[in-house]
Amino acid sequence: MANHKSALKRIRSNEAKRLRNRYKHKTTRNAIKRLRDMESKSEAEAFFPEIVSMIDKLAKKNIIHANKASNLKSKLSKHVASL
């Protein structure tokens, strides 16, 4: 157990950040799944920039690695182009 006030505060703030990061990551994963399930090209092309923005934000906040973000964007752009 923590012995200092600052350590207790750090524990509380870490938990809040962890939950926020989990929510953002899960929301992005669900959006990616939605994009992959889309059938119409026009709908997917309209939704693609939102997904890219979400992925970039996760990478900027170090929730996911920058290379993983690049790989995801590349694969999704290929998928949208192939529709």
pLDDT at 14: 96
pLDDT at 66: 96
In a domain, 81, yes or no: yes
| Domains contained in the chain, number | 1
What tens-digit pLDDT sequence spans the chain (83 residues)?
778 999 999 999 999 999 999 999 999 999 999 999 999 999 999 999 999 999 999 999 999 999 999 999 999 999 999 98
| pTM (global) more than 0.95 | no
| Amino acid found at 27 | T
Cα–Cα distance, 63 to 29 (Å, whole number): 12
- Domain membership of residue 45 as a residue range: 40-83
In a domain, 30, yes or no: no
CA distances from 22 to 15, 17, 63, 64, 68 (A): 11, 8, 9, 11, 16
Token pair belonging to 48? 């693609």
